[in-house]
Amino acid sequence: MSDAVTTIAASAMRLSVPLAFAGVGEFVAERAGTLNISVEAMMLSGAYAGALGSSVSHNAALGFLWGAAAGLLIAFIHATFSHRLQANTFVVGLTLNVLALGLTNYLLEKIQMSPRQVGVVSIPLLSRIPVLGKPLFAERWPAYLLMIVVPAAWWAVYRTRWGLEMRSVGENPKAADVTGVHVNRRRRQGLLVCGVLAGIGGAYLSVAEVGTFNSNMTAGRGFIVIAAVIFGGWTLRGTLAGCLLFGGVDALRLALPALGYTINSELLVSSPYLIALLAMLFFARRVRQPGALAQPFERGAS
C-alpha cells in the first residue's frame, strides 16, 4: 500500500510542477490586473518550443530556454495588444490560444524532431526517506528551480517597489496613475513574467516529463492554472496549494485504473476540471480578487 501511495504522490508532484511554474506566473499577471487566459497558449508553445529546442541543440537544458522564449513571445503579443493598443484582453487571449494550438499542430507535422529529455536528480539521503522521499527529492532537475522561483516571486511581489506598484495597478489603476506609476507598463511586465514561467512550465511537460511533444499536449492545463489562482484567493501560497490539488487529482485519475478501479475514462479525464469548478464554487466568492482584475486602463478615460 505504501508503494501505491508513493507512486501516486510522486506522480502528483510530477504533474504539479508544470502547473506551479505557470501558476506563479499567472499569479503575478493577475495581481497586476490581467486575467490572462493566454497562459494556455504560453504553456503549449513553451512545450513545443522546448521539444524543438532540445532537438535542434541536442541539449535538453537548452530546450527550457526555448520554451521560456516561446512563452515570452506569446506574452509580448498579448501585452502589446491588450495593454498598449487596448484590445479586449479576452479576445486576444482566446485568439492566441487557438492560434498556438493550430500552429504547434502544423509545425509538429512539418518539422521532424528528436527531442531530448532532462535527467532525474535524486538528492542523496533525502530521497531515501520512506514514502515522501521519492516524490519530493527525486525529480527531473528543473523541478528544483521552483525552490528559487517561488521565493523570488514572493519577494518581488510583496517586498519590492516593483511588486508594490504591480499590486497597486491591479487594485486601482487610476490611483496608481495619478501617483506616478506607469500602469500599462507594469501590466505588460506582469504578463511577460507570466510568459516566461508558463513557457518553462510547458517545456517541463515535453522536455522533462514526457520527452517528446504531442498534439495539444497541455490539454487545458492553462485553464487549470487560472482555476488554481482563483482557488488560492490570489495569494501565492494558495495558488501553489491549488496547483498541488489539481496535480493530485490528475495523478489519482492516472492511478485509479492501475489500482483496479474502473471508472469511465472519459469521465476521469474531465475530473480535474470538475474539481476546479467545484473549488471555484466554494472559494471564488469567499475571497477578494484584485480590484481592477480584467479592467483595462486608459488614461483620461473616466
Partner 1 sequence: MTPSTPVSGAGGTPLPPVPALEARSLTKCYGKLVACDRVDLAVQRGEILGVLGQNGAGKSTLMNMLLGLVRPDGGEIVVNGHPVVIADPVKAASMGLAMVHQHFSLIGPLTVWENLSLGEKGRIDADRTRRHITEVARRYGLDVDPDARIDHLTTGQRQRVEIVKCLMREPDVVILDEPTSVLTAAESVELFLMLRRVVQEEQRAVVLISHKLDEVLHATDRVAIMRSGRVVADRITEGATAMELAREMIGRDVSLRGGSAAIGHFEAPADTGRETDEAVPGDVQPTVLSIREARAVGPDGRTLLDGLSLEVRRGEVLGLAGIEGNGQKALGDLLSSVLSLSSGVVEVAGRAVETGRPGAMASAGVGVIPEDRHVSGCVLDMSVADNLVMGDLEAVSRRGLLRRRQVAEQATRLVEEFGIAVSSIDAPMRSLSGGNQQRVVVARELSRSPQILVAAQPTSGLDVGAIEYMNSRLRRAAEEGTGVLLISTELEEILELSDRIAVIHRGRIVGEVTRRQVDLDRLGMMMGGQAA
Angle CA 118–124–126, to nearest 5: 105
**Residue 180 binds partner 1 (CB under 8 A):** yes
From residue 294, how far is each of 86, 231, 299 by CA, in Å?
Answer: 12, 17, 16
**Residue 179 binds partner 1 (CB under 8 A):** yes
Contact 236, 150 (CB under 8 A): yes
- Segment lying near partner 1 (by CB under 8 A), choices 47-55, 100-108, 144-152, 163-171: 163-171
Position of cell 471508472? 263
**Residue 165 binds partner 1 (CB under 8 A):** yes
**Residue 164 binds partner 1 (CB under 8 A):** yes
**Residue 84 binds partner 1 (CB under 8 A):** no
Q: Is the dihedral of CA 13, 46, 209, 251 positive or negative?
A: positive
Member of 36, 172, 184, 189 binding partner 1 (CB under 8 A): 172
Nearest CB to partner 1, comparing residues 40 and 171:
171
**CB of residue 171 to partner 1, shortest distance in Å:** 5
What's the DSSP call for residue 180?
T
Position of cell 495581481? 31
Nearest CB to partner 1, comparing residues 180 and 260:
180
Contact 195, 75 (CB under 8 A): yes
**Residue 189 binds partner 1 (CB under 8 A):** no
Nearest CB to partner 1, comparing residues 29 and 44:
29
With a CB cutoff of 8 Å and minimum separation 6, the contacts of 119 are 60, 140, 141
**Residue 286 binds partner 1 (CB under 8 A):** no
Residues forming contacts to partner 1 in the complex (CB under 8 A) are 159-161, 164-165, 167-168, 171-172, 174-182, 288, 291, 299-300
